[in-house]
Chain A
Amino acid sequence: GEDESLERGRQLYLEGTQPQCGVCHTLEEAGTSGGIGPNLDNLQPTEEAVRAAVRDGVGVMPAFSDSLSPEEIEAIASYVVSVTQD
């Protein structure tokens, strides 16, 4: 269900990438406070923006399309959007 997918997204956000998302990003719900990339709570990105950024990278942010499946990228995007929208 939806909750499972969000939980999967949360787990991938926390542990599914190298470096981990939270090393660079602040996301209150996940308890991360990285200060390198944008603060996701402030940014409130769209799903499209997260999906594209994780897949292709942005500036110094690496592309994760080789290490994550499209479904995993989608799960991260859904999770980040769900916990950052007002």
Chain B
Amino acid sequence: MSELEREQVESKVRAVIGQTFGLSPTETAGELRMGDPAAWDSMGHMQLIVGLEEACNWSCPGHQIAELVDVPTIVDAICNPSN
């Protein structure tokens, strides 16, 4: 996957996080990880995963859910679905 495609995925991931947790564009652009924003808690985490699956046409394997706690890890998982 090219750097450009990866940036597009990151942009989509940030948009879904913003939409899921009701963040402003400024907040969405910052560092985001589970627990910060506060709404990214246990319920929020699964809402986010489902939202990302729909938006990115991607299926998250169960064993990966616990690892996807920040933007770079999520982008990696979507860009390298076989990992």
Partners in one complex: no
Residue numbers of A with Cβ under 8 A of B are none
Residue numbers of B with Cβ under 8 A of A are none
